[in-house]
A and B are shown apart, each in its own frame.
Chain A
C-alpha cells in the first residue's frame, strides 16, 4: 500500500467536492434539522406550550434509564435523556447524506469514463477503495463535528444547569469516538461495495439507503425505552461494527473486478 497514492486520489475527491459543494447540502441539512429538532423538543416546545418536561410522567419514567441523577431537576433529567438520544441520531443520520457521495464513488467514475485511465495507473484496488471511503467519510465527519460542537454549545447555554456535565460520561465518549465513526465506516464501505457492483448511481443510492433501516430501528427502540444501551453495550456494538468494517473492506477488494467494470458495464 502506498499512502502517497491514497493521498493523491483523496486530493481529487476533495477538489471535486469543493467544486460541487451542493453534494454536501443533504449532510448539512440533516445536521441542522437534527439540531433544530433536538433543541425544539427539549428546550423550545416546553417554553412555547408552557408544559414543563418534568410534568410528563412517562418521560420522567423513561429518563430513569439514564440512572439516578439527583443533582438534576426533573426537567434536567428528561433533557439529559433526550439529548443522549439525539446524540445517537446526530451521529448516524448525517451518514445517510454521505451515502450519496460513496454510492457515486466508483460507478460515477465509470459513467464519466474517468475510471479506465485511473485503473491504468499503479493504484491498487485497496488504495482506490480506501481513498473513496475516506473521500466520503472525512467531509461528513467535518460537518458532523461542526454540528456536534454547536450541539454541545447549545446544551451548555440552553439546557438546565448540570445537563452538560451529566452528559460528559463514558457512554457519550463511546458513542462519539467508537460507535459514530464505526457506523459511518460500515455504511460508507457498504455503499462502496454496492457502487462497485451496479452500473447506475441511482441503484447504488437506493441500495445504500437500506443501510439506515437497522439504525432507525435501534433509534426508535431507544426512544421507546424498549432498548437502552449502556456504555459497555455500545462499546461492544462499536467494536462489532469495526469488525464488520474490516470484513467489508476485504470483501470489497475481493469482489472489485476491474475487468468486469471496464468491459461489462454500459
Chain B
C-alpha cells in the first residue's frame, strides 16, 4: 500500500508539488494525470525515495520512508523511470542480470528467463540494448522494474512510445499485477489508458485537483443532456419534448434536450413521446469523456 500524506516539494521558491495526499491500496491501480510540469515525476520520485519531500510523509506498506528505511523500501518498489535508462553496451540479459544482482535475487537466471518470457524478449536476450527500438527498450525497462516481483509499482508513463500491440500486452500485465495484489501508481498523458486501466484517477497540477474513479469523475461533469433518436420526422414531436425542456432542438433524426434530473425525467419523457406516437430507436444520456473532465479541471485551476 502506498500512502502520500501532505507531500510538498519546493525547488527554491517554486512549489512543484503542493500538499498532495492520496493512497493506493492493494490490488489497485491509480493513474496520475497532469500536464507537463504538473509534478507527476517529482511525486513519483518522492514515493520511490529518490528525493525527499520538503514536508509531508510517504508510507509504504506501513513503513515510513526515511533515509534510514530507504534502502529497505527501495527493495520493495519497482520503479519505471521516465526514460528507460538501459545500458546500451550491455545485452538485454546482461542488463537484467546486473539488476538481479542489485536486488540480491537468489536465482537470477531463472528470474531473468521468466521475465524474458513474460515480455516476449527471449529472442532479444543477446541483443545489445543500443540495437533495440524505443518500444523494446521500454519493455526491458519494465522487465527490470518487475524483476524482483515488487508489491509496489511506480510507473512513469509505462506505455510511452510503445506500439498498440505491446501497449495491450503491458496493460494485460498490469492487470495481472493488480490481481496479484500489487499497489500500482502510474503516470500517463493517455486519458484512454487511464480510463481503461485505473481504478481511480488522480488529476495533478501541483495540487491534487481530483481523485476518484473515472466514472465518478465523469459524473461530475454531467450536462443532463439527453439524446433521443427517432425513426421518422423528429420535428413532429418537438412540442411533446418541449414540455420537458423549452430549448429542445432537433439535430438530424435526433431530439436533443436538457433535463434537470435525467435519471428522474427520462422515463416520463420516453412515455410521453411513445404516447405521442414517436418511434423511439435510442435514448441516451450524454456522458462526458474523461478528457472533457480533465480539460474542465485544468480550466478551473
Chain A residues packing against B (C-beta within 8 Å): 2, 4-5, 7-9, 11-12, 15-16, 19-20, 112-124, 258-259, 262-263
Contact at B51–A12, with CB atoms within 8 Å? no
Residues of B within 8 A of A16 (CB): 87, 89-90
What secondary structure prevails in chain A residues at the interface with B? helix
Question: B79 contacts the other chain (Cβ, under 8 Å)?
Answer: yes
Contact at B85–A123, with CB atoms within 8 Å? no
- Provided the pairs A11-B101, A263-B51 are in contact, do residues A117 and B90 lie with their beta carbons within 8 angstroms? no
Residue of chain B at shortest CB distance from A18? B89
Contact at B99–A121, with CB atoms within 8 Å? yes
Contact at B89–A122, with CB atoms within 8 Å? no
Among A8, A117, A118, A121, point to the contact of B141 (Cβ < 8 A): A117
Residue of chain A at shortest CB distance from B90? A15
Chain B residues packing against A (C-beta within 8 Å): 11, 42, 45, 48-52, 71-72, 74-75, 77, 79, 81-90, 94, 97-104, 128, 141, 144-145
Contact at A8–B101, with CB atoms within 8 Å? yes
Question: Could you jot down 23 A-B contacts, CB within 8 Å?
Answer: A4-B104, A11-B98, A11-B101, A12-B90, A12-B94, A15-B94, A16-B87, A16-B89, A19-B89, A112-B88, A114-B87, A117-B81, A117-B85, A117-B141, A120-B74, A121-B74, A121-B102, A122-B71, A122-B74, A122-B104, A262-B50, A262-B51, A263-B11
**A260, chain B: closest CB distance, angstroms:** 9
Contact at B98–A117, with CB atoms within 8 Å? no
Counting from the closest, the 8 A-B pairs by CB-CB distance are A8-B101, A19-B89, A120-B79, A113-B83, A122-B75, A121-B102, A117-B85, A12-B98
Residues of A within 8 A of B49 (CB): 120
Residues of A within 8 A of B71 (CB): 122, 124
Residues of A within 8 A of B141 (CB): 117
Residues of B within 8 A of A15 (CB): 89-90, 94
**B56, chain A: closest CB distance, angstroms:** 15
Among A113, A121, A124, point to the contact of B103 (Cβ < 8 A): A121
Residues of A within 8 A of B89 (CB): 15-16, 19-20
Contact at B101–A7, with CB atoms within 8 Å? yes
Contact at B90–A5, with CB atoms within 8 Å? no
- Provided the pairs A8-B102, A258-B50, A259-B52 are in contact, do residues A113 and B87 lie with their beta carbons within 8 angstroms? no
Among B45, B97, B128, point to the contact of A262 (Cβ < 8 A): B45
Residue of chain A at shortest CB distance from B74? A122
**B85, chain A: closest CB distance, angstroms:** 4
Give Cα A112 to B102, complex, Å: 19
Contact at A116–B50, with CB atoms within 8 Å? yes
Contact at A259–B90, with CB atoms within 8 Å? no
Residues of A within 8 A of B72 (CB): 122
- Provided the pairs A120-B81, A123-B102 are in contact, do residues A12 and B74 lie with their beta carbons within 8 angstroms? no
